[in-house]
């Protein structure tokens, strides 16, 4: 349903265009980013980008040199974040690969904010 508008007729017969992006559908996705992503403030910039987009979730460094995380929010904002994670990251990062898993819709948020985890 991405980038499509649905048309609903009112009682007077005029068409009302409804933007699906304005509807609150919470989409979630788990991610893992590979490359030079530790020691380059990748988590800090990821948190800033998520907060800028109004997303919730978390990210953390892994023992094998990647950044792992979870994002929740409106579908179009999650897509924007996924693109940012694949192509931008922190200024000195070198992203080799981004993997996304478990993408699905939820009825509501399960996180209150976006956090950097240390575990």
Dump pLDDT digits (tens) for 57-96: 999 999 999 999 999 999 999 999 999 999 999 999 999 9
* Catalytic annotation, pick one of 12, 43, 101, 117: 43
Phi-psi region of 57 (alpha: psi -120 to 50; beta: other; left: phi over 0): left
Q: Are strands 26-36 and 15-18 parallel, antiparallel or unpaired?
A: unpaired
Task: Confirm whether 11 is domain-assigned.
Answer: no
Task: Confirm whether 8 is domain-assigned.
Answer: no
Our CA dihedral for 39, 41, 42, 47, rounded to 10 degrees, sits at 150
* Catalytic annotation, pick one of 9, 12, 61, 101: 61
pLDDT digits (tens, 9 = 90+) for 21-68: 444 568 999 999 999 999 999 999 999 999 999 999 999 999 999 999
Binned at pLDDT 50, 70 and 90, residue 13 comes out as very low
Binned at pLDDT 50, 70 and 90, residue 108 comes out as confident
61 is catalytic: yes
Task: Confirm whether 110 is domain-assigned.
Answer: yes
Structural domain count of the chain: 1
Task: Confirm whether 13 is domain-assigned.
Answer: no
- CATH assignment at residue 69: 3.30.70.100
Instruction: Provide the residue range defining the domain that includes 51.
Output: 22-116
């Amino acid at each position: 349903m991405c980038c499509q508008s649905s048309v609903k007729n009112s009682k007077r017969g005029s068409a009302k265009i409804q933007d699906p992006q304005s509807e609150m559908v919470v989409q979630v996705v788990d991610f893992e980013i590979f490359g030079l992503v530790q020691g380059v403030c990748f988590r800090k910039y990821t948190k800033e980008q998520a907060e800028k987009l109004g997303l919730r979730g978390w990210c953390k460094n892994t023992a094998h040199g990647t950044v792992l995380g979870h994002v929740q929010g409106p579908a179009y904002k999650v897509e924007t974040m996924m693109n940012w994670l694949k192509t931008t990251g922190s200024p000195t990062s070198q992203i080799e690969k981004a993997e996304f898993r478990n993408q699905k819709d939820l009825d509501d948020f399960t996180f209150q904010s976006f956090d950097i985890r240390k575990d």
